[in-house]
Amino acid sequence: MSLSIGFIGLGNMGGPMAANLVKAGHQVKVFDLNQSVVNQLAEQGAIEAADAKHCASDVDVLISMLPASKHVKSLYLGETGLVHILAKSTLVIDCSTIDAASAREVGAELSEHGIAFVDAPVSGGVAGATAGTLTFIVGGADDHFAKAQPVLADMGKNIFHAGDIGAGQVAKICNNMLLSILMAGTSEAIQMGINNGLDPKVLSDIMTASSGRNWTLELYNPCPGVMDTAPASNNYKPGFMVDLMAKDLGLAMEAAQQSNSSTPMGSMAKNLYTMLQHQGAGSDDFSAIFKLFSKE
């Protein structure tokens, strides 16, 4: 079914996601503060919106993909927020990765105005956004999830209903905390092998076929030259930036504190990624943590 969809936030992830909605046959209005990315989407068949309010007007679905909680709340809430102009028939899908409390705050305010909302953060990186194979982790009511699912299926391969509003955010930061730990541990192990004379590709193959097997070894190896398709072999061009991983780990630490959870490995990963930021690698892919362990 072709829908009228507004899409706000056309960054490294949002741009390809919106393009896939156009390819699926939807009528897609797009807006971003960066006019060049709006122009690129318009060339692919999207409709250029003059501003966020125009983008959110008269649409079946509004999707937002923004950097942080403050941007999401500023977009939807307050005197100038979209909550005042959205039609009650519009389903709002926020794909940003933000703290669960902010997602619940936005959802509650929209609900008071009769507007359906789900939080649907994504996993899969730029490659997944481009290929349309993202994983969506959704929080919201059952009927709102059912309405969002076919739209998300045009941008992703795996769609999970994690629970009520905010649950998508919690599941996402749990996943990314584990991913950061795996990436740091994999980097540490490979570098130790190199330091002791092993070929990193051979070692990676051994660990992939053994009990150390994990996603970073199989699909996203952090050692340059081991995997041609990985950012490590392209000068750590993202991908998923160090700055974004550090942000997600900050959200994870906030959630851990609020729930009195013990996360020593997550805390260490947060410290390591903060160190990497301080070394000027914030815009590198998060697999660049390998450089912290390298002797070069």
Q: What percent of the chain has pLDDT over 90?
A: 96
Confidence of residue 296 (pLDDT cuts 50, 70, 90): confident
User: Tokens standing for 12?
Assistant: 């490294």
Which among 54, 38, 76 is positioned nearest to 6, based on CA atoms?
54
- What is the distance between the alpha carbons of residues 178 and 180, in angstroms, rounded to a whole number? 5
First to last CA, the chain: 54
Confidence of residue 238 (pLDDT cuts 50, 70, 90): confident
The pLDDT assigned to 1 comes to 80
Does position 19 have pLDDT exceeding 80, yes or no? Answer: yes
Does position 203 have pLDDT exceeding 80, yes or no? Answer: yes
- Known active-site residue 172: yes
Average pLDDT over residues 220-245: 95
Confidence of residue 126 (pLDDT cuts 50, 70, 90): confident
**pTM for this structure?**
0.91
Confidence of residue 132 (pLDDT cuts 50, 70, 90): very high
- What is the distance between the alpha carbons of residues 292 and 294, in angstroms, rounded to a whole number? 6
Contact between residue 148 and residue 172 where contact means Cβ atoms under 8 Å apart: no
Confidence of residue 150 (pLDDT cuts 50, 70, 90): very high
Give 230's Cβ-side CA count (13 Å radius).
Answer: 21
Per annotation, catalytic residue among 29, 73, 172, 291: 172
Average per-residue pLDDT for the chain: 96
Average pLDDT over residues 148-169: 98
Which among 108, 111, 117, 155 is positioned nearest to 136, based on CA atoms?
155
User: Tokens standing for 14?
Assistant: 């949002």
Alpha helices in 196-241 (DSSP H): 200-208, 215-219
Per residue in 57-76, pLDDT (tens digit) is 999 999 999 999 999 999 99
Decide: helix, strand or coil at residue 123.
strand
User: Tokens standing for 39?
Assistant: 């122009």
